[in-house]
Chain A
Amino acid sequence: MLRRAEGWVFAPEDAKRLAAVRIGLCGLLALRLATADYGLAARQPALFEPHFYMDVFPRMPSLEVATILQLCGIVAAVVAAAGLVIRASLPLAFICSLVLHGMLNSIGRIIVGDALLMLSVLVLLVCGSAAGEAWSVREPLRRALRRVRRGSANPPISDHDFDGARYGWPIRTAMIAIALAYFFAGLQKWRYSGLPWVTSDNLRWILYGQAHPDGLALFVADRPRLSHLFAAGALLLETCFPLVLFLPRLRWLFIPGVVAMHVGIRLAMGLDYSAQWLTVLIVFVNWPAVGAWL
């Protein structure tokens, strides 16, 4: 069984598919870095409770440091999305993001929303230059330079026809990570709450317990049967998500389901898991195939 799993993970894949994942994840990382408020942590140095790797810092990094990291991270992520200097730009973007998220996680509560994005970027980082071999601005730049230098001995590589094992394993490893994340989210509910997570008024309490529940939250919370249905749906979706690895057709059900769940949580509770569901879409959808179909 391990051999079969290894064979699946390391099966050949189109370089363009990995490139699409690179562009999507790096673009999303740049967007998250640009829109998050890291000053929230930097302005509260007294509340610094270093989490995990943040122990290396004796105190909360200052607002100036946070700003520099944010700018460097955004530029590095954009450069990596373009496929340039990928062995340097991707690690730099990752490290900047790691420190900035570490700051937010070190003021009393650990925020999970960007964890899947970071895990997927980590996998991309380890695959090295393979992520930048297709759909990169590198080749057009080289062609332009060659024209300036009036040609060179080497003809350009077409970036349309690569495939091989070096392009498949990062995507499938990220898929497994995403599947495990949802599975464990479901498993912890079974573990700490069991069936009462669905059968009790737990979801209603979560919705009612907000400082200012909005219309959607109250609509669901006021209807016990609807609340139980949503609770059951969420638990089933999370626990059974790994099935998409074995039965690809189920992705047509589970991926939209997961997106709908997170959008619903945002509307009803104001919690932003957009980085998570966008990571799911970027990794699981075959974007070159979508582009060809369109």
Chain B
Amino acid sequence: MVSLGVPTTSRLCNFGDGDVERCLVPTTWIAVKGQHPEMPTGGAPRQARPFVAAFLATLVVCGLAPFNLWPFSNWELFSRLRTQTRWEAVAVAWTGRERAYPIASPRHGYRGFAAVSGGFSKQSAAQPDASCAAWLRGATEVLGTKTRLVRIYRMEWLLSDRRGHRAPPRQRTLIWVCTAKGAREQG
């Protein structure tokens, strides 16, 4: 019988042949090498403390700065006051007929539509052209090959104009037109 004689909070650790008795010292294990090789040893690993410090510091810096280094987000979720405007897309066929194009719907659409279309005027020519080409392609897939162009409108309305479940009348302003040749700003 091997006695380690290691003082613990309450008892000595004694290890018999083929028999393992766990001995818990406040934050560490005692393991006898060769008795059971799979028995866990030690407390928290050496890298734990530096990792926890760096991990939490990164979370705090990204939250305060704020930086958005996904998954270390800045957590700016619905943090800004909403104005009563939205962006909408309308697909126009060769006949001139307009159809609503649900560009932001999950299955076919593009989740960043409002953010991207709102920022078109600040970008170089290539980016709006690329976005427009993709949206036109998407509209053709969803609404058919007769789609000639996609019009992007900014919608504005007053909340107070609402009547029960009926949406208030909205003022529609054409901002961009997407054709096969690229994006064209209106107005």
Residues of B with C-beta under 8 A to A110: 68, 70, 73
Residues 151-192 of A contacting B (Cβ, < 8 Å): 153-155, 157, 161-166, 168-169, 173, 176-177, 180-181, 183-185, 187-189, 191-192
Residues of B with C-beta under 8 A to A211: 102, 104-105
A119 and B71 contact, CB distance less than 8 A: yes
B134 and A115 contact, CB distance less than 8 A: no
When each residue 25-67 of chain A gets 1 if its CB lies under 8 Å from chain B and 0 otherwise, what string results? 0000000000001001000101100011000000000000000
Residues of B with C-beta under 8 A to A205: 82-84, 159
Cβ-defined partner of B24 (8 Å) among A10, A46, A164: A164
Tell me the interface secondary structure of chain B in the complex: loop
Say how far B84's CB is from chain A's closest CB, in angstroms.
Answer: 6
| A44 with B134, Cβ < 8 A, contacts A164-B28, A211-B102 known | yes
Interface size class of B (residues with CB under 8 A): 35 or more
B40 and A109 contact, CB distance less than 8 A: no
CA distance A202 to B84 in the complex (A): 9
Say how far A278's CB is from chain B's closest CB, in angstroms.
Answer: 16
Residues of B with C-beta under 8 A to A181: 59, 73, 75
Q: Which stretch (A72-80, A85-93, A123-131, A248-256) binds chain B? A: A123-131
CA distance A202 to B83 in the complex (A): 8
Chain A: residues with Cβ within 8 Å of the partner, total of 72
Q: Does A101 contact B (CB under 8 A)?
A: yes
Cβ-defined partner of B81 (8 Å) among A40, A128, A154, A196: A196
A166 and B55 contact, CB distance less than 8 A: no
CA distance A177 to B102 in the complex (A): 36
Cβ-defined partner of B70 (8 Å) among A46, A105, A127, A201: A105
* Known A188-B63, A192-B76, A211-B104; further 8 A-B contacts with Cβ < 8 A: A47-B134, A110-B68, A115-B73, A181-B59, A184-B64, A188-B66, A192-B80, A205-B82
